[in-house]
Structures are given as C-alpha cells and as structure tokens.
Structure 1
Amino acid sequence: MISKIFLDKVATYNGVEFAPSKVNYIYGGNGTGKTTISKVIANKTAYPNCALEIEDEAIDKCVYNCDFVKEHFSQSSSVKGIFTLGKDTKDAQGYIAKKKDELDQLTKNIKGNQESVKKLKGNIQTEIDSFEKQSWITKKKYEELFRVAFEGYMGSMKAFSKKCLDEKTNTSELIDYEKLVERKNVLFNKSSVKHEQISNITVDRIVELEKSNILSTPIIGKEDTQIGELINKLKNSDWVNTGRKYLIESDSKCPFCQQPITNDLNQEIEDFFDESYEKQFNLIKQFKTDYESCVTSMLTTLETLRQMEIKIIDLSVLDEKIEILKEKNKINLMKIDKKLISPSNVEKLEIISDVLKDINSVIASFQDKIKQNNQLLDNIEEEKNKLKNEIWRFVFEELKPVITEFEKKVSGYKKGIDSIRKIISKKSGECRNLDQEIKTKEAEMTSTEYTKNEINTTLKKFGFVGFTIDDADAKGSYKIVRMDGCCVEETLSEGEYTFITFLYFYQMIKGSIDPTGITRDKIIVIDDPISSLDSNVLFIVSHLVKDIVSDCNNNKNNIKQVFVLTHNIYFHKEVTFRGARENLKQHEKFWIVKKLDESSSIDEYVDNPIQTTYEMLWRELDNLDKVNKATIFNTLRRILEYYFNIIGGLDYEKCIHSFDGEDKLLCRALVSWINDGSHFVNDDMVMYVEPEGIEKYLSVFKLIFDNMGHLNHYNMMMKIENSTETVT
C-alpha cells in the first residue's frame, strides 16, 4: 500500500505531498493535475523528482488512464488476453488460495522481522547520536588548546566522533595534558626560538671544603713547656695569644698586671705559639679565602642564570633556593671568622651542597626543556604531526569508557540484526518457493476463455450488441469483431470504445495478462473512466467501480488500495455513496485537486466535500412532515429536469405513456416543463401543490425513476440501501 505520495517538478506540482488511505476519492477539474497522479503511481521512475512511500515495491499497480488505453488496447489489432482461473476450477482456486494465505503469512512475518531490524537500526542510531554528543562535549572542552589537531573535524559532530573511534589503533605515546599543552605552545608558537643550553653548578669544590676538618680541629700551642702546661690547664691559649700583641708594645710588662716579665717567660710564651701553631692558623685563613671564592663564584653564576630571558622555563623557582644558599653562606662565614678569633674552638659549617644539589635538579629540568624545545624546533613538521597523534591518543583515552560502552551496545544490536536477517533470508526463500508453486499451478489452470465470455456477457447485458471480442490468431490474444466476424476497424463510437476498454481493465483486475500473475497483490488507480458515456452506461461503470472499492474494503481479489480520480460530479457522487455502510468511513479519504496561478495543490477532507445544488434538492425530500408545500412541485420538477435532461436524457412521451389514469396526468404535470428550454436547476419558479396531492406526486416521482430504469439512482439519493442485484 502507498502511504505517501510526493509530487515535485512535474506538470504544475511543486513540492506537494499527501498521505493516501486504503480507498481514495480524488476530485478535480480538467487540467488540475489528476492524471499526473495516476502517471506517477504507474511509473514513478519516469519522474525522478517524485517519490512514493510504499510497503511493497513489487506490488502490481493497475492504472486505468489514457496511457493504459494506448498501451493495451486497439480497435484495429489484437490485444493481450486476460488470464483467469475461471469458475470451473474450484479445487485449483482453493489450492492457490491456501498457498496464497501461506505466502501472505510469510510475507507478514518477514515484514514483522524487517520492522524489528528497523527498530534495532533505530537503537543503533540512538547510540550513535548519544556518542556523537558526548564526543562533541570533549571536543568543546579541548578545542581552544588542541585546535591544531582538531582541524578538519571542528564543524561536524559526526566526523569528529568517527575520528575518535578510528583512534582505537593509535599507538602514539600517552602524554599527560600539561605536557601536551607545553609542546603545543612551542611547536605552534611563531615566536618560538632555540636557546643556548645552561650549565649545572659545580659542587665538587664546596663538597671538598665541607668535608675539611680544619674548623673542627682546635689549634693550641706547644705542650712540653711549663707555661704550655699551665695554658692548656687553664684552656686560655686564645686569651694568651691575643695578649701577645700587647706584650710587644708594653716593654716586657704584662699587659694585664703591668708586672715585668722575664725573658725566659717571654721566650716560653713565644715557644708555645710555635711555627706549627702559625701554620695551622694560616690554614684557617686560607680556608676562608677558598670558601668565599667558591661560594661567591656559585652565587655569581646563579645570579647570571637568574637574569637570563628564557620564556620556556620559569627561573623564578630558583629564587627561594638562592636565598637559602645566601643565608647559609652568611652563617658559615661567621663561623669561620669565629674560628680565626678563637682557633682553639671547634666549629661546624652549615651544609650548602644539599641546596646546590636541589638547585642542580631544577637546572636539570630546565636543561631538559631547552633540549626538548631545540629538538622540536629542529624537526618541527615531524614533531607537529607527532603531537597531533599524541593529542588524539589523549582524547581517545579520555573517551575510552564511553567508546567501550558504545561499541558493546552497538555490537549487540548488530548481532541481533544479523540473526533476524538470517531468518528473513530463510523466509524469503520459502516465499520464493511458494510464489513459484502458485505460478506453476496458475499456469496449469489459467485461460483467457473465461474473461472473453464475461466481457461479451456484460456487453450484451447492457445493449452493446453490435460487436464482441473473440480470440485473435495469436494465442492468448483478443480482437474486437462485428457480428459477421469482421474486425471493427476503427468503427466503434467513443462511448463504445471507452466502455469496452474499461470492461477490459475491470476484468484484468480480477485476472492478469500474465498467466502466472493472477493472485498478486494490486493497487488500483482509475482516472476518469466515464468520458462520452450516456447516463445508463455511466451508472454501470460507477457500479463496477464501487465493486472494486468493495473488494478492496473486504480484502478480496488481492486489491490492497484504490484511487478513483474524476472531474464529473455525478460519477463522483455515485461511486462515493455509502448508503448504510458507514463502517467504510475508516478506510476512505476524500481529496480535492485545485490549480491556482499554474500551481496545483491537494486538500484532504474527512467527509465528502462535494455537495451540489442537485443533492440539496433531494435533501428537501428527506422529511415529508416538514416538506415545503409551496415549493415541493418545483423541487420535484427541477430534480427530473437536471437528472434526465442534463445528465441522462429522457423520452418524455415514453415516460408519460408508461403511466395510466391519474398517475399519467401527474407525470405529465411533472415533466411538461422540462423541455421548455429556460429552466435549470437554479431557477426559482414556484408552483403550489395542495397538501393532499403531495403523496401522489411523490409516488409518481419515484415511479418515473423506476419505469425509466433509474430506480438505483433514486434509492441512492434518498439514502435507501439498494436491494437490487449487483451488476457485474
């Protein structure tokens, strides 16, 4: 069944879409675009800008329009025969019907499985959409810093998410975020330059000085003299040594008590502070000089380093350590000076080599950065590509939990789809076997004879006795012949030609021009089949169309959907009349095709939108208790005039003479004005009827339709369910 029709750039349609129902009545004037609809349904491939949304692309589309007549029918040559099973093959029909039911059930199961596949695909798409959104969040998180790697994927959520999935095979080293940013700032910064490498602070000499025991060794004089024993006993060598300077200036008097000092005592004091003492004391002085020189040199180097402009490193991290170094140096110098003042004291230096090692560790990190910077700039293009791969590896790892869950779900859905497709494949094979079995049986039992007899019976039944169809020379073909057996040779009237072509189409719906296609499902399209038909034949065609609609509603003859297109109001009213069958409403839709400013449109209606003045006249007869006595006669006369004179044609005298007595007079009264020439459905002439005469006129009014063979129309317009035998 067709669920949607899209018409664009064809005839006067520009982007028009509508959703048809099971049964569709499409009304529109000539030239509005009805036939275009039938042509698109018949052969969509000829109209590339149009589209049909259809459940089964292989379903037969039987379209009656001018193209059908040209393709299948000719007065002067043979036409293809219509194969049917005939009425005498009930066993074969039962067999085929059973197999067709099995085929339909299999097809239904396949459609159910296809829906399951469609649902699973929908689930996959939902997961894809969700993953794309999550990956896009990651993209937005890093796009400013990692734009250099994201180029080419910035504008498409789908492309970015696919790239993330593709990075599953990325074997680049996993680098942390800070390092990636740092490398990016170097490689993609136009102001980046190479830098001279910096050197470590040499600590060997300061370590050697720190290990020296010169400050921790007390310096005293000679101990093997009497004065030496006393000085050592009193532990005042530093005090005595200081006094020596004053003894020289006091003319051998004690600088403390002013008593004369003998030469022997003076000599003993000098002997106590011998050459060894002086040598050790000078070592302390030299130690201070060496120490000061070493530390000053290191501090100078550090200050020089601190003043360098190297943007890729933060030299300020050295400031705290340099201050610690200076503070310890200051303490150590004080300790050395204290040792010089009191050589006998034991002093211990503050260890500064540890601070220097810490400083060298920082300098080593600086050296690594400078080295990396210079290496990056030496191979900048290669390093840029390497960095991009490392960024994508970083992004993949961040999304890895999401990707793992996404792939797990999608894999499950795909396995489900594969499993169902295997079932579909198996059932499709069973369908093909069943279809071939049905075709084989059809080929054994079908013939064109039954259809020929049916068409000829219908022609005879409705007064077309001047011609019939017969078997042509070519097997499985027909020809149209006169009663003497000669071909009609283009002598059929337009009405006769139209009628027999529609009968041919009507029978083709029940059968097939292919001996193995009788039971295939069909979509029926009927485009204005009533051209040049008189009212009686028009009614018959309308009735046949209603049979087709009825078969569709009742799921008979494999008719799945019907489209009826017309510009004729009477034909439209005939085929859309439901009578008491309101249950059909759920299957039917009404459409009106309009063309304005060379552009066609299609409007949908829940109820039949075609309400004519003619139908409104009939509605005046619905309630006899409320009928207008002043206008009833005029209403009856106008109905007769419109139907028999304008639509059908009426032999007035024959009509009048079909009545007797008073009924004949009443009939003459009703029809006497019809041929006046100045009266139409919309005239407003009024004739008053006495109340007691109303029922008589209404009775004769009905009899006129009955006597002239149009009782079906009367019943239809009065909404009386037609109980007469269906015309076939």
Structure 2
Amino acid sequence: MELKISGVASYKSPVKITIDKKINLFYGLNGSGKTTIANFLQNRNHECYRHCCISGADDKKFIVYNENFIDENFYESVEQKGIFTLGIENKEAESNIENARNQIGQLNDKKQECEELIKWKKSQNNENENGIKERVWRIKTSYENSALDFCLVGVKNNKERLFDTLLGTEPEMDTSITIHDLESDIKKIEGDDAIIKATIPRIPLNTIQIENNDIFQEIIIGNEDNSLSKLINDLGNSDWVKSGIHFLDSQNRCPFCQRELESNLISKLRDYFDENYKQKINALNDLKTQYLNEILKFPDIEELKSEKLVAECLPFIEELLSLKNILDQNLASIEKKIIEPSKKLNLIETSEYLKKIDRYITEINNNIQIHNENIQNKEEFKKRIKKAFWGCASATRHLKLWIKMM
C-alpha cells in the first residue's frame, strides 16, 4: 500500500510513503508533516486533500492514534447526554450542533496545518537570511583598506551589525551616483589632489570685431581712372599683375615672358596701384597683426589639461581645440586676402565657440570651488560620503524587501 501526499501544508512537491505493516509509527520534528498525514488518513474526502491518494488500500479501515483519537475516546464528554427527546425541533438543533462540531474540527485541522506551514516558512526564511548576510558581508571585504574604509568603522567585525546597518539605510535616490564615484571624490580630499586649487581665467579674445570687418568683403583693385584699369579688370588678373611688379628687374624685363617693357607702361602699371589701394592693403596687414595678437592670448591647452578637474571636462577641451583650429584658419585666410585682395573673404565667426567655452569655464570653476570647500570642511564632507556610501550599498535593497515579504 502506498500513500501520496501533495499540495497541502509543507508538502508542496509530491511525497510517496510505502506502508507494508499493520501498525506504523510516524515521528519527526515539528513542522515535518506528521499531523498532515494523520489528518488525511482520518478525513480523506476533505477538499484540501484533493491531490492526495492511497493506492492498494482496498477496503481497509484506518485507525489513527493521535491527539484527536485520545480526545474522542479517553476523555469524558463535557456535555451530559439528554434523557428525554423533546421533539423534532430539538433533534434539528442536535443535528446543527453536530455539524458545528464537525466544522470546528475541520477548522482546527486547518489551523494546525497553517501553523506547520508557518514553522516551515520561518525555517526557510532563516536559511535565506543567513545566505543574504553572507552576500552582504562582501561589502566589508570589498572596501576594507580602500579609500572608503572609514565608512565601515563600527561594522567591520560584526556581520549582524553590518547587515542591520544596511537594512536601516534609506537607498540613494540618485541612481547615477556609484560607489566608484564616491571613492574618486574622497581621494580628491585625501590624496595628492588634496590641495586648494586656483580657478581658471576666462579667455580674453576680442576677435569678433576683426572677423566682421567689411574690408574682407571688398573687391580691392587699383585706380579705376588708370588707362590700363579696364584691361586689367576685364582680364580679372589684378592680383597677378600686382605680384609681377615686385619681380621687375633693373632692365625692366617682364618677369613672366622676359620681354623688355617700355618705361611708360611700367609707370602706368605702378600708378594703377595707387595710394588708396596701398591704404587698404595696409589696413589688411593691421587686421592680420591684431588677429595674430589675439591668437597669442589663447591659453596653452596642454597646460590646462594638467589640471585634473579641467581634463575631466572633455567637451571643454574639444571646444578649445576647435576654436584654436578656426583661429588658425582665419589667420591663414587673412594672409591670403592680402596676397589676393580682389577676392572676397568670409571668415568663420568665433563668437559661439567663445560662449560655449565660457560656459564650460564657469562649470569647471564651480567644481573647483566645491573641491576647495570640501577640503576646508573635510570632516563634514566625509560624513556626506559615508551616508551616500551606505545609500549606494543598499542598491541591494531588493534583498531587504524580499526578506520582509517572506
């Protein structure tokens, strides 16, 4: 004969029990399921045992010796048997009483099953909690002797205290903060970087007025009243002629075709590039000098990057490199305009780059100011780091919620 117990009390998975003797004794610790087996044998038709069965029992009668059997067979009933039958109504009342007794018995059985289940659950919870405590203990082993070692003072030698500290800590709401960030922050006030830092100055460039000067849009050519002006303008080679004059030799030979030029023609060529033309070329040279002086004010990027708080702001470095490249391009364009003044020139405006860089400098200087304040108020800063450390550590707070739910 074989019992199959399943889906009731602590028997979540099916358990098969072979019975091959007339008298069988079930024993075990509290919560091991003895009462569930006894109750099933006494009341096999109860709904809670719908997944349980007995095979090979045939018509055998089961007598279960347990507390219920003792109460029913060895103790006197607290109720006096009635002597007289007083009518149908009393018989119905007696039937109702009997039904109530049966229901009470069933409820007591259910209560006993629930108590066994609670005991089993508590046992499981204790095992789970011990496992979680072991995992939580890794916080100590991971950060002991690190820059964050001070956060573990008072809990390093006690698993229970460390576990309770974690459970009692409100989780860090800013999920972007990590323990790695906190470790980096504490090193800034205790390592080689633990010095008061100077803010970085703004870049004092005044390039906008130069870049917007109208002269770069002018087509600068020679004297329109010169007899050669129409020919030169029609050919569109004013800049070519200007460059050639510089190469005339003492024998007045053309630097391009090497033919001898008449003195009258040379005079007209020189007169074509009159005083007005020269003034505009001089103006271009002045603008070039001014622009070069502004470029010389540009900071040394490598020197700036030597400051860690600056180097950490990568967009700032990228904007600086872009601006320096544009300044160099504009200077080269101005030089080209001086060589070819008849061509229009559009310089790249640097105003937007300067605005962005100014915003980054403000941000970096704010961080430098915070850094300096943290050094000046080191103990208060360490308290904030410690609080944030435990807030981040409680990122395993789902374990805490799990324990509470069990």
The answer (yes or no) to whether the contact 1:237–1:344 under 8 Å persists in 2 is: yes
Which of 143, 167, 170 is matched with 2:169 structurally? Answer: 167
The answer (yes or no) to whether the contact 2:219–2:344 under 8 Å persists in 1 is: yes
Structure 1: distance between partners of 2:379 and 2:173: 16
Quote the residue 1:621 is aligned against: none
Structure 1: distance between partners of 2:75 and 2:321: 105
- 1:241 Cα deviation (Å)? 2.9
Change beyond 3 A, Cα 1:361–1:140 = farther
Quote the residue 1:295 is aligned against: 295
The 3-state SS of whatever aligns with 2:342 is coil
Structure 2: distance between partners of 1:260 and 1:171: 91
Structure 2: distance between partners of 1:272 and 1:226: 8
The answer (yes or no) to whether the contact 1:164–1:395 under 8 Å persists in 2 is: yes
The 3-state SS of whatever aligns with 1:218 is coil
Quote the residue 1:229 is aligned against: 230
The answer (yes or no) to whether the contact 1:325–1:355 under 8 Å persists in 2 is: yes
- 1:383 Cα deviation (Å)? 1.6
Change beyond 3 A, Cα 1:323–1:167 = closer
Quote the residue 1:399 is aligned against: 396
**1:618-657 correspondence to structure 2 within 5 Å:** none
Query: CA-to-partner distance for each residue in 1:246-282, whole Å, 9 max, x for gaps?
Result: 679668x8776434343xx666545532332122111
- 1:370 Cα deviation (Å)? 1.5
Structure 1: distance between partners of 2:360 and 2:340: 39
TM-score by length of 2: 0.60
Change beyond 3 A, Cα 1:311–1:303 = closer
Q: Which blocks of at least 5 consecutive residues in structure 1 are unaligned?
A: 1-93, 100-104, 410-728
The 3-state SS of whatever aligns with 1:194 is coil
Structure 2: distance between partners of 1:313 and 1:223: 56
Change beyond 3 A, Cα 1:341–1:95 = closer
Quote the residue 1:281 is aligned against: 281
The 3-state SS of whatever aligns with 1:200 is coil
The answer (yes or no) to whether the contact 1:216–1:346 under 8 Å persists in 2 is: yes
The answer (yes or no) to whether the contact 2:304–2:310 under 8 Å persists in 1 is: no
The answer (yes or no) to whether the contact 2:187–2:193 under 8 Å persists in 1 is: no
Structure 2: distance between partners of 1:180 and 1:130: 28
Structure 2: distance between partners of 1:249 and 1:408: 105
Which of 380, 387, 390 is matched with 1:389 structurally? Answer: 387
- 1:401 Cα deviation (Å)? 2.3
Structure 2: distance between partners of 1:315 and 1:289: 35
**1:100-499 correspondence to structure 2 within 5 Å:** 118-143=119-144, 144=146, 146-168=148-170, 176-177=177-178, 178-189=180-191, 192-203=194-205, 205-245=206-246, 257-262=259-264, 269=269, 271-299=271-299, 301-302=300-301, 304-306=303-305, 310=307, 314=311, 329-349=327-347, 363-364=361-362, 366-396=364-394, 398-409=395-406
- 1:95 Cα deviation (Å)? 11
Q: Which blocks of at least 5 consecutive residues in structure 2 are unaligned?
A: 1-72, 79-104
For 1:400, give the aligned amino acid.
R
Change beyond 3 A, Cα 1:140–1:218 = farther
Structure 2: distance between partners of 1:372 and 1:250: 75
Structure 2: distance between partners of 1:226 and 1:137: 94
For 2:194, give the aligned amino acid.
S
- 1:378 Cα deviation (Å)? 2.5
The answer (yes or no) to whether the contact 1:173–1:390 under 8 Å persists in 2 is: no
The answer (yes or no) to whether the contact 1:220–1:277 under 8 Å persists in 2 is: yes
TM-score by length of 1: 0.36
Structure 1: distance between partners of 2:327 and 2:75: 113
Structure 2: distance between partners of 1:343 and 1:319: 35
Structure 2: distance between partners of 1:235 and 1:151: 84
Structure 1: distance between partners of 2:118 and 2:397: 28
Quote the residue 2:12 is aligned against: none
The answer (yes or no) to whether the contact 1:136–1:161 under 8 Å persists in 2 is: yes
For 1:339, give the aligned amino acid.
K
Structure 2: distance between partners of 1:348 and 1:113: 87
The answer (yes or no) to whether the contact 2:217–2:344 under 8 Å persists in 1 is: yes
Structure 2: distance between partners of 1:116 and 1:298: 77
Give the number of the structure whose residues are more often strand, by fraction.
1
Change beyond 3 A, Cα 1:248–1:312 = closer
Instruction: Count matched residues.
Output: 302
The 3-state SS of whatever aligns with 1:343 is coil
- 1:340 Cα deviation (Å)? 1.8
Structure 1: distance between partners of 2:76 and 2:192: 82
The answer (yes or no) to whether the contact 1:206–1:291 under 8 Å persists in 2 is: yes
Change beyond 3 A, Cα 1:214–1:302 = farther
Measured on the aligned residues, the alpha-carbon RMSD in Å equals 4.2
- 1:149 Cα deviation (Å)? 1.7
The answer (yes or no) to whether the contact 2:337–2:343 under 8 Å persists in 1 is: yes
Which one has more relative contact order, counting CA pairs under 8 Å at least 6 apart?
1
- 1:219 Cα deviation (Å)? 1.0
For 1:209, give the aligned amino acid.
I
For 1:297, give the aligned amino acid.
K
- 1:197 Cα deviation (Å)? 0.9
Query: CA-to-partner distance for each residue in 1:354-382, whole Å, 9 max, x for gaps?
Result: 76667656645543431221121222222
**1:49-128 correspondence to structure 2 within 5 Å:** 97-98=76-77, 118-128=119-129
- The structure that has the greater radius of gyration is 1
